[in-house]
Amino acid sequence: MRIIPAIDIIEGKCVRLSKGDYNTKIIYNENPLEVAKEFEQHGIEYLHLVDLDGAKASHIVNHKILEKIASQTNLKIDFGGGLKSDEDLKIAFESGANQITGGSIAVKNPAIFKSWISKYGADKIILGADANNEKIAVGGWLEESDQELIPFVQAYQKEGIEYVICTDISKDGMLQGPSFELYEKMLKECVIKKEQDLSTALKVTKLRLIASGGISTFDELPKLAEMGCEGTIIGKAIYENRISLKQLENYIINQS
């Protein structure tokens, strides 16, 4: 299971929110590059970088920070927050994103999101399926849609999506543990079976689920891995020293 620390950006600073509420902002570091370099020094290879200003503005804002981290570290970065147009996507990839995450756009403009899957491929486009009470939330989690989480994910699997980041918003930033039951349900139900060409054999495509939100102790990580999560995003637990970078470094070494 991939360990993916999160850096959330507001006004160029590394922050964390609780339940996506911008009024709960805590600034942890004025220099996101410094934070990213520290992650890399502890053997971490991946980074989840979120442009919270972009999520609010509905267009990419903090691409210069993405560019700085991508050019000065070897971290493989998935970037999200406010990506709404082909131009936003172009800027994100040119700034060094390895993958991009689309959440609100997949709800509000499915045609453009599907075109991104076709153009860039399933290995480059992650579906952001963030939910409150199993209903998809959009607009930086500021509004709830009428889309049910599991049917929403299943529909995009049929369009070729493999990677899905799922955050249970009620858990995010609360340090009370992740939504194990929800992830178990998703891994069980979001399996696509397709008949192979000229054959009765079925090709089974499993969800590459990245768990996010609520991670609070190191012991939760092996449990998520055992369930079948492909990755986990860890934010506040690192910044509040609930999980040390040394623990994550040892976990990565032991997995390899």
Annotated catalytic sites, by residue?
Answer: 8, 130
Kindly state the tokens that stand for 81. Answer: 């927050």
Residue 201 has phi, psi (to 5 degrees) of -65, 145
**DSSP letter for each residue of 31-64:** -HHHHHHHHHHTT--EEEEEEHHHHHHTS---HH
- Distance in angstroms (rounded) separating the CA atoms of residues 240 and 16: 10
DSSP 172: T
Only one residue has tokens 């390899």, namely: 256
Which of these, 14, 13, 94, lies nearest to 60 by C-alpha position?
Answer: 94
DSSP 109: -
Which of these, 183, 171, 234, 179, lies nearest to 207 by C-alpha position?
Answer: 183
**β-bridge mates for residue 45, sequence order:** none
- N residues, the chain: 256
Only one residue has tokens 């040390």, namely: 244
- Distance in angstroms (rounded) separating the CA atoms of residues 62 and 220: 31
Kindly state the tokens that stand for 243. Answer: 């999980």
* SS3 assignment, position 8: strand
